[in-house]
Amino acid sequence: MSKKSDFSALKKLSENLNKAEPEQNVPLTELLNDSFIQSKTSFSNLNELFEKAGFKVETKEDFEAIPDEAMNRFIFENSEYKSFQEMLGAAGAEYMKNLIFKGLK
């Protein structure tokens, strides 16, 4: 890599870092996008995951009504994670990594 391309990459990284302030309201479907769900579970998307877990989630209230224990057990049995919260943490980390390194290759 040349010094110019190194500098361009660093500049792009810096710009991305400045844009990557933690967003508090990232939609769940953006965090647990199809690619993430497919790579970490046997399901094709978040809706299928909820459906197979026995939950119909159409609203925020539906999601909030899911019993933590039941969802955690389902995630433990159907993914590499011990709980839904752990899965969300991993998805959040991947989301931020993708945001920061966007456009760099």
Whether 26 maps to a domain, the answer reads no
Whether 65 maps to a domain, the answer reads yes
Whether 64 maps to a domain, the answer reads yes
pLDDT at residue 65, rounded to an integer: 96
pLDDT at 89 over 70: yes
pLDDT > 70: what percent of the chain?
74
pLDDT at residue 88, rounded to an integer: 94
Whether 29 maps to a domain, the answer reads no
Whether 58 maps to a domain, the answer reads yes
Whether 8 maps to a domain, the answer reads yes
Provide the 8-state DSSP code for 42.
S
Of residues 60 and 69, the one with the higher pLDDT is: 69
Instruction: Name the burial class of residue 71, with classes exposed (0-12), middle (13-18) and buried (19+) by CB atoms within 10 angstroms of its CB.
Output: buried
- 2-45: per-residue pLDDT in tens? 555 555 655 555 564 555 555 567 889 999 999 999 999 999 99
Whether 50 maps to a domain, the answer reads yes
Q: How many structural domains is the chain composed of?
A: 1
pLDDT at residue 46, rounded to an integer: 96
pLDDT at residue 5, rounded to an integer: 59
Tokens of 62: 């539906």
DSSP 45-102: SHHHHHHHHT----SHHHHHTS-HHHHHHHHHHHSS-SSHHHHHHHHHHHHHHHHHTT
Cβ 36 vs Cβ 91: under 8 Å: yes
Whether 33 maps to a domain, the answer reads no
Residue numbers of the domain that contains 12 = 3-18+41-100
